[in-house]
Amino acid sequence: MLEMIPLETALDLLLKKSNCCSTEAVELSAAYRRVLAEEIVAATNQPPFNRSPLDGYALQGADLAGASHESPARLRVTETLQAGYVAKGKVEAGTAIRIMTGAPVPDGADTIIRFEDTREENGWVEVYVELAPGSNIANAGEDIRQGELLLKPGSLLESPQIGVLAALGVPNVPVYKRPRVAILSTGDELIEIDQELRPGKIRNSNLYTLAASVRESGGEPILLGTCPDVLQITAEKISAGLNRADLVVTTGGASVGDYDLVQKAMKQVGAGILFWKIAMKPGTPVVAAEAGEKLLLGLSGNPAAALISFEVLVRPLIKKMAGFAEYLRPRVTVKLMDGFRKKSSQKRFLRATVKLVNGEPCAYLAGAQNPGVLKSLLYTNALLEVPGNRAPLMAGEMIEAIITGHLC
Ligand code: AMP
Ligand code: MG
């Protein structure tokens, strides 16, 4: 029998054996939440020209020396310039061009005065304030400098990144392909979610939980459905998963029960077992195998155990395959507000809600911690990591939390 291994060792081993997917180009409008595969260096300045940041007059600042309400500067208005056009003429001493926000600063002008400090009549504008030459000019490159490294490979493309790519004129974006992750739920007790409950049966929730988690991790779920605890069928489904996906994840049948057949099924499809059982709770029964370049992971069928082992073991793997530069969740030291007395020789993850109380992150246990209880995950935005063989946890202690959701 293979030995139980520490989570860190298991994760290290799997990460070493996984690689980024290949790349493809997608249209910018389809790039939301994709992972950038190349550096983005600004090919142009943004803005590309010196422009007016407000509606007003372009002029020479020196003409405003000594201007006030009592003795305004008087300048001749030579033209009106709308955003999107270039001035026909130049600004010379004693003249001004009426200019709108976003229009290029005309030649000869070094200052923009806002409408609110002026009054125009019969082709002349009176300016009531002084302004230092150079005021109110948004310089070319004020936002982005040509040649600047803006985005690194492995960055997630969200609204600001997409905006920057649009501003720089990148209509097709190089991204990593999403890893395809086949998900199979095993268990004779499982029925489909649209079926009536019958004695002894439960609905297959893991398939949907994990499919959502695969998406959140940047992967593309392939739902292989439900399969009974029958070796031949399990092996066939796993084999189908290997044909269609980059990674195969199963739930159920990974423990020591008479009908726990996933490990056998993995061997039957020719996969080599890497490890079986991780020293953690919930989620001890994890079987990992490899078939060629592809990994297979069999998780516990208990809904919370399946999701938590996915979170700490499979998510980082999918993120790495998806090309993310960062694939681990942030960790924060939090104050535990409730005690937890149960001792364990294995590392334990406790479901908790972390809230900021007077600016301090405080963790409240999210309810029942049993591996078969799914509901407490509804109230979980953090997993508290309790090392093995640790004394019972007391309220008020500081503990490390993996932040898995939004802070309340
Ligand atoms: P197993 O890992 O097969 O020993 O299953 C452990 C527990 O999880 C049992 O109570 C199963 O009925 C339950 N279970 C297994 N698979 C699923 C699933 N896909 N959805 C919900 N519960 C499951
Ligand atoms: Mg089972």
For residue 402, pLDDT beyond 90: yes
Cβ-based neighbour number of residue 221 at 10 Å: 22
Per residue in 77-124, pLDDT (tens digit) is 999 999 999 999 999 999 999 999 999 999 999 999 999 999 999 999
Determine whether the shortest distance from the Cβ of 55 to ligand 1 is under 6 A.
no
Question: What is the 257 CA–ligand 2 centroid distance (Å)?
Answer: 8
- Its pTM stands at 0.94
Cα–Cα distance measured from residue 281 to residue 369, given in angstroms and rounded to the nearest whole number? 10
Q: State which ligand 1 atom lies nearest to the alpha carbon of 285.
A: 2
Closest CA to 63 of 104, 92, 89: 92
For residue 204, pLDDT beyond 80: yes
H or E element that contains 7? helix 7-16
Using 50, 70 and 90 to split pLDDT, how confident is the model at 1? Answer: low
What is the average pLDDT value for the chain, to the nearest integer? 97
Determine whether the shortest distance from the Cβ of 202 to ligand 1 is under 6 A.
yes
| Residues 353 and 382 sit within 8 Å (Cβ to Cβ) | yes
Closest CA to 175 of 19, 18, 22, 15: 22
Mean pLDDT of 203-223: 98
Cα–Cα distance measured from residue 281 to residue 346, given in angstroms and rounded to the nearest whole number? 7
| Residues 363 and 353 sit within 8 Å (Cβ to Cβ) | yes
For residue 400, pLDDT beyond 80: yes
Q: State which ligand 1 atom lies nearest to the alpha carbon of 229.
A: 3
Q: State which ligand 1 atom lies nearest to the alpha carbon of 205.
A: 20
Q: State which ligand 1 atom lies nearest to the alpha carbon of 302.
A: 8
Kindly report the protein residue whose alpha carbon is nearest to atom 12 of ligand 1. Answer: 189
| Phi and psi, residue 245, nearest 5° | -130, 170
Cβ-based neighbour number of residue 387 at 10 Å: 11
For residue 143, pLDDT beyond 70: yes
Q: State which ligand 1 atom lies nearest to the alpha carbon of 253.
A: 3
Determine whether the shortest distance from the Cβ of 189 to ligand 1 is under 6 A.
yes
Closest CA to 201 of 212, 192, 210: 192
Determine whether the shortest distance from the Cβ of 300 to ligand 1 is under 6 A.
yes
| Bridge partners, residue 251, by sequence | 185, 299
| Phi and psi, residue 370, nearest 5° | -65, 145
Per residue in 309-335, pLDDT (tens digit) is 999 999 999 999 999 999 999 999 999
Determine whether the shortest distance from the Cβ of 191 to ligand 1 is under 6 A.
no
Determine whether the shortest distance from the Cβ of 263 to ligand 1 is under 6 A.
no
Query: Which DSSP string do the residues of 292-315 spell out, in sequence order?
Result: TTEEEEEE-SSHHHHHHHIIIIIH
Q: Tokens standing for 259?
A: 């009908």
Judged on CB neighbours under 10 Å (0-12, 13-18, 19+), 133 is middle
Of residues 1 and 353, more confidently modeled: 353
Determine whether the shortest distance from the Cβ of 284 to ligand 1 is under 6 A.
no
Cα–Cα distance measured from residue 141 to residue 304, given in angstroms and rounded to the nearest whole number? 51
Determine whether the shortest distance from the Cβ of 302 to ligand 1 is under 6 A.
yes
Q: State which ligand 1 atom lies nearest to the alpha carbon of 259.
A: 3
Closest CA to 291 of 273, 275, 274, 271: 271
Question: What is the 254 CA–ligand 2 centroid distance (Å)?
Answer: 8
Ligand nearest to the CA of 305: 1
Q: State which ligand 1 atom lies nearest to the alpha carbon of 300.
A: 2
Ligand nearest to the CA of 187: 2
The fraction of the chain above a pLDDT of 90, given in percent, is 99
Kindly report the protein residue whose alpha carbon is nearest to atom 16 of ligand 1. Answer: 301
Closest CA to 233 of 197, 188, 195: 188
Mean pLDDT of 339-364: 96
Kindly report the protein residue whose alpha carbon is nearest to atom 8 of ligand 1. Answer: 302
For residue 62, pLDDT beyond 90: yes
For residue 268, pLDDT beyond 90: yes
Question: What is the 18 CA–ligand 1 centroid distance (Å)?
Answer: 27
Closest CA to 156 of 231, 218, 70: 218
Determine whether the shortest distance from the Cβ of 134 to ligand 1 is under 6 A.
no
| Strand 124-127 versus strand 190-191 pairing type | unpaired
